[in-house]
Amino acid sequence: MFETTRIVLIENSRSLLSKIRESPILYLIFTGTILFSVFVFAYAFFFFVNIGINLDITLEDIFFTVFFLFLLKSGADIYNNFVKSSSLSYSLSTQVNQKKTIADIFIAVLLIELMIWFSFSLLFLLSLMIFGIDINYPVEYLYFTIGVISSVCLGTAISIFFFSPKRYRIIAPLIFLGFCFQLRQPLYVVLTLPLAIVHATWSIKNSMDSHLFSKRKERIKDKSNIKIRNPIKAFFHRETTVLYRDKLLFSFIFTSISTGLFSGYLFVNGDEILIPEAIRSQIGGFLPSMFMFLGIYVVVMYTSVFPALNLFLNEEKTMWILRHIPVRNENIIFGKVSSLSLCFITAIPFIPYIMIFTGVDKLVFLAFFLVFSYIAGIIVSLPLGVKYVGKKSDIMLLYSVSMILFVFLGIASVVVNLIESTFTYPIIIYVLIILLEIIVLYISIKISSQILSLKYKLNR
């Protein structure tokens, strides 16, 4: 019973343990970042409770945020452990019913998500307890836990059907999901858990289609733009070709546009939506700039941090190519980083779309802060990606990079606001800052190339 569940859990935990053993100090920092951020959230909660400000963030908002995050995480985990898994063919070829094997994987993913939920939530509750906030809400906690189970069921169904040849099947779980978000009632999600389980069961019943469909080899022909290039250009061309063929560039552009529109809307209406009228005039002023900041942060995470990290994390099975060719590590990194310039172009649509709401006078600030944040994203991500070259990214790494960048950009945005209010022509200061940042980027590339060399030499 549950052999596959056990194997998936062992595989995941051993992979994490081996990374921790390989870089204990870095993982200590990652753990510290996670603990710190949970503690900061608890403190923010304590702060708002104590000063009596009601930001109109309700339990429902938090419930659906948690629900959405676990929906994404479980969808990604099902994709990695089932839809795209190569090692699965062994267990699928045994006499055990294939649906049982896939159900085992679903249970493994459910256990992983529940473990993450319990660890984070208990840590958060412990922090609240330290601040003296009453945490005696067992029913609400039960609601949240059932919400996590429900989101894993729906995430599984959506992930499986998304990769199915009969993609229309995704409509049913999407309608159910739409109802969950439309009604905004945790109780609705709790009561409809059996329905979510039915969706998961239905998707598992039809899951082999998705596995086989995603494994099917399509003969795709392409004869464009083939020539001998210098090594840096060759790396640039390879990276950008893969980005283009994986259709990632289109998804980047879509994210930039939708984030621009969404944060622009909140820039204009955020005060009204989130802050009670009684105190709007006192504390409402900081929200518009916060939404601009958050918009840029999201775009940069998507178009700079993820591709920059994956430049080297993705070389899992192809490291032999980079290792045996006669090219300096520095050139490899320069070539790969240069491909991020194409990703930057996909971030630009954010500016015109947010300006529909903010007006043209914010153009200089937006352009500067987007460029600044984009380069900062590369500076932070590149050495970490190189450090874990050839290893799959894990949630701790992604979370830590996003937190480091959030803190850094948060401080930077305060400084930029100060510059805006102090200098008449801040554009000169902005140009100087960008030039300085380019020097730091160069140093980051140099350090990354040293890390790539040291990784090889230190084993001696």
Partner 1 sequence: MISVNNVTKTYGKIIALKNVSFKFDNSHVIAIMGENGAGKTTLLKLCTGILPFDSGEITVDGYNIINDSIKAREQIGYLPEMPYMYERLTGREFLYYIASLRKVTDAEDRIEEITKMLGINDFLDYEIGSYSKGMKQKISVTSAIMHNPKNLLLDEPVYGLDPLTSRAIQDFIRNKKGSTIIATHSSQLVEQIADIVYVLMRGKVIQTSDVKNLLSKYGSIEEAYFHIKDETNV
Give the footprint of partner 1 on this chain (CB under 8 A). Answer: 217-223, 226-231, 233-234, 237-238, 241-242, 245-246, 317-321, 323-328, 456-460
Q: Sign of torsion, CA 18 24 28 33?
A: negative
Tokens representing 323 are 């290792």
Closest distance to partner 1 from the beta carbon of 326 (Å): 4
Least distance between partner 1 and beta carbon 87 (Å): 14
C-beta of 136 vs 459, nearer to partner 1: 459
Cα(34)–Cα(399) distance, integer angstroms: 8
Q: Which is nearer to partner 1, 157 or 389 (CB)?
A: 389
Alpha-carbon separation of residue 119 from 33, 34, 122, 414 (angstroms): 15, 11, 5, 33
DSSP state of 218: P
| Euclidean distance between CA atoms 88 and 98, whole angstroms | 10
Cβ neighbours around 96 below 10 Å, total: 13
CB of residue 152 to partner 1, shortest distance in Å: 30
CB of residue 340 to partner 1, shortest distance in Å = 18
Name residues whose C-beta falls within 8 Å of residue 195's C-beta, 6 or more positions apart in sequence.
Answer: 176
In the complex, the smallest distance separating the C-beta of residue 323 from partner 1, rounded to whole angstroms, is 4
**CB of 396 vs partner 1, minimal distance in Å:** 22
Cα 359 to Cα 421: distance, rounded to the nearest angstrom: 18
Nearer Cβ to partner 1 (226/278): 226
CB of 459 to partner 1, least distance (A): 4
Contact 355, 362 (CB under 8 A): yes
Nearer to partner 1, 138 or 460 (CB): 460
Task: Give the per-residue SS3 of 269-281.
Answer: HHHHHHCCHHHHH
Q: Which is nearer to partner 1, 283 or 327 (CB)?
A: 327
Q: Which is nearer to partner 1, 168 or 457 (CB)?
A: 457
- Report the residue number, 61 or 246, with the smaller CB distance to partner 1: 246
Q: If you search the block for the tokens 């939404």, which residue do you land on? A: 291
Residues 34, 116 contacting (CB under 8 angstroms): no
